[in-house]
Amino acid sequence: MSAPRTLYAKIWDDHVVRTGDDGTDLIWIDRHLIHEVTTPQAFEGLRLAGRRVHRPDLTLGVPDHNVPTTDRYLPNPDPASTLQLATLEANCAEFGVELIGIHAAAQGIVHVIGPEQGFTLPGLTLVCGDSHTATHGAFGALAFGIGTSEVEHVFATQTLHLARAKAMRVTVTGTLGFSISAKDVALAVIGQLGTGGGTGHVIEFAGPVIETLSMEGRMTLCNMAIEAGARAGLVAPDAKTFAYVEGRPRAPQGADWDAAVAYWRTLPSDPGAVFDTEIVVDGSAIAPLVTWGTSPEDVVPITGTVPDPAGFADAGKQVAAAKSLAYMGLAPGTRLADVAVENIFIGSCTNSRIEDLRAAAAVAQGRRVAPNIRQALVVPGSGLVKRQAESEGLDRVFIEAGFDWREPGCSMCLGMNPDKVPPGERCASTSNRNFVGRQGPGARTHLLSPAMAAAAAVTGRLTDVRELMA
């Protein structure tokens, strides 16, 4: 009888190509998702060294980071973006990698299309040159972001030299309250752990709240594991996972499907498996959360006030908080619900899936975007999400309320395309990072859930969605 193992350890053990004598293992990579921003230099490296992509059948490309979200048949006004998108196409063609092109129906954000295509499966190792690759951990896949040199290494060898991380379990107990979403859980976890709290760890999310989350919700939660500094987030695969995966275009079929499910059922952490760190979050106590500062750990309930930097225990935090507030243009003691916003962004790899759009549309239904809002973008995560939303009439709900209904991409989450928050303006955003300048130079970001973003859109200020939906 072998010792009880965690989900993380089981996936790791099944992917060791070779155990190193220096504390690192050579780990096999089952899936490699690629996009236009972090691959040009990796392909260039292959070309210079005369190397090939070792396993194109495990590699899938899609443009997402700087695609325009307006009509893609119009000329792209940005020559640098045009070149980067063309470079991805040319590289995929040259190295025999399948590309879901900019005009394909299935194009979308890399972390939305992976699961949607059944490219993401439980028990896999999956990498992408993007830190939000943690998203795919929702399926019980070990998924993490890598840099461009590692992209090149995976291209050439389909492996990475990795040191085993520590295992952390975050157990979310209780039941979520009315209008509380996976995004609020993610922000609550980051608020409790801090942005460096997960460094060196892979987090497994567990407990009753996680079990009740939909696959979309689990993706939102794992997506933000990186904002707590964790290498990856994981949720044990269960019946909900299998139901989501079954029948997707690239999912196993027939006898392969049965064998895969039998294997996947062996993956959840064994009873008695030891975690290096255990954290418990009281799910019943989570209120709708918003960020007040320039770090995702700067969270406060919508019913709360902007904190006073002097109230932080450590001197470094006091300085950081004061700087954040100066950048955010907020005074200590201000009620969050009194903060007016000018921009709304519903989208990103965190919150652009069908369930997110449904939650936002339920708030927008029969209401109007407030007059002080200059931009209210709804950017579906993929062409297929967009089509699904349109078949449900969600596009009409948004358009009639005064939102802008866009083509899929990363958009205003990171402002690489024309979708930016103007300097000094505020944005209620369903994305994942409120860093200085993230949504455009001088942009002030408040992270929140899709329902909360829609609530802010219709009132023109940060708003407790529970008041609108009661």
Partner 1 sequence: MQPFHTLTGTAVPFGAENVDTDAIIPARFLKTVTRAGLGAHAFATLREDPANIFDAPQNRGAPILIAGDNFGCGSSREHAPWALADMGFRVVIAPSFADIFAGNAFKNGILLVALPQEQIDRLMEVAADQPLTVDLENQVVTTPYQDRFAFAVDPFRKDCLLNGSDEIALTEALGQDIAAFETRLASARPWVGGAAARVAA
Minimum gap (Å) between residue 24 Cβ and partner 1: 5
341, 428 Cβ separation under 8 angstroms: yes
222 is in an annotated binding site: no
How far is the C-alpha of 238 from the C-alpha of 347, rounded, in Å?
27
Per CB under 8 A, contacts with partner 1 among 300-319 are 316
Q: Kindly tell me which of 19 and 175 has the beta carbon lying closer to partner 1.
A: 19
Among 4, 13, 47, 80, interactor with partner 1 by CB under 8 A: 80
Minimum gap (Å) between residue 190 Cβ and partner 1: 12
Find where tokens 């307006």 sit: 70
Among 138, 260, 306, 336, interactor with partner 1 by CB under 8 A: 260
Within 8 A by CB and 6+ apart from 468, the residues are 363, 367, 455, 458, 459
Q: How many of the other CB atoms lie within 10 Å of CB of 266? A: 10
Q: In what order do the strands lie in the sheet with 159-163?
A: 16-19, 24-28, 159-163
How far is the C-alpha of 409 from the C-alpha of 63, rounded, in Å?
8
Among 6, 69, 76, 84, interactor with partner 1 by CB under 8 A: 84
Query: Taking CB under 8 A as the rule, does residue 12 contact partner 1?
Result: no
* DSSP-based three-state secondary structure for 192: helix
26, 18 Cβ separation under 8 angstroms: yes
How far is the C-alpha of 292 from the C-alpha of 327, rounded, in Å?
11
92 is in an annotated binding site: no
128 is in an annotated binding site: no
Q: How many of the other CB atoms lie within 10 Å of CB of 21? A: 5
Handedness of CA 379, 383, 388, 390 (dihedral sign): positive
Query: Taking CB under 8 A as the rule, does residue 247 contact partner 1?
Result: no
Query: Taking CB under 8 A as the rule, does residue 281 contact partner 1?
Result: no
Query: Taking CB under 8 A as the rule, does residue 431 contact partner 1?
Result: no
Dihedral angle at the C-alpha atoms of 287, 196, 345, 88, nearest 10 degrees?
A: -150
Query: Taking CB under 8 A as the rule, does residue 215 contact partner 1?
Result: no
Query: Taking CB under 8 A as the rule, does residue 229 contact partner 1?
Result: yes
How many binding residues for partner 1 (CB under 8 A)?
A: 90
Among 87, 214, 277, 318, interactor with partner 1 by CB under 8 A: 87
Minimum gap (Å) between residue 64 Cβ and partner 1: 13
Query: Taking CB under 8 A as the rule, does residue 441 contact partner 1?
Result: yes
Q: Kindly tell me which of 332 and 442 has the beta carbon lying closer to partner 1.
A: 442
Helix (H), strand (E) at residue 467: helix 465-469
Q: Kindly tell me which of 119 and 398 has the beta carbon lying closer to partner 1.
A: 119
Query: Taking CB under 8 A as the rule, does residue 170 contact partner 1?
Result: no
Backbone angles phi, psi at 416, to 5 degrees: -85, -20
Per-residue x/- track, 96-135, partner 1 (CB under 8 A): xxxx-------------------x-x-xx----xxx-x--
* DSSP-based three-state secondary structure for 136: helix
451, 465 Cβ separation under 8 angstroms: yes
DSSP structural state of residue 251: S
Per CB under 8 A, contacts with partner 1 among 353-382 are none
* Choices 226-234, 276-284, 376-384, 389-397 (CB under 8 A): range interacting with partner 1: 226-234
Minimum gap (Å) between residue 202 Cβ and partner 1: 10
9, 277 Cβ separation under 8 angstroms: no
- Which one, of 62, 32, 40, lies nearest residue 410 by Cα? 62
Per CB under 8 A, contacts with partner 1 among 175-214 are 195-196, 199-200
Minimum gap (Å) between residue 330 Cβ and partner 1: 18
Within 8 A by CB and 6+ apart from 373, the residues are 341, 342, 343, 344, 402, 457, 460
Per CB under 8 A, contacts with partner 1 among 25-44 are 26, 28, 30-31, 37-38, 40-41, 44
Find where tokens 């200085």 sit: 436
Q: Kindly tell me which of 59 and 179 has the beta carbon lying closer to partner 1.
A: 59
Minimum gap (Å) between residue 427 Cβ and partner 1: 15
Minimum gap (Å) between residue 31 Cβ and partner 1: 7
Give the CB-side neighbour count of residue 17, counting CA atoms within 13 A: 12
Minimum gap (Å) between residue 156 Cβ and partner 1: 5
Query: Taking CB under 8 A as the rule, does residue 397 contact partner 1?
Result: no
* Choices 256-264, 271-279, 357-365, 457-465 (CB under 8 A): range interacting with partner 1: 256-264
Per-residue x/- track, 132-161, partner 1 (CB under 8 A): -x----------xxxxxxx-xx--xxxx-x
Handedness of CA 460, 465, 469, 470 (dihedral sign): negative
Which residues are annotated as part of the binding site for [4Fe-4S] cluster? Answer: 349, 410, 413
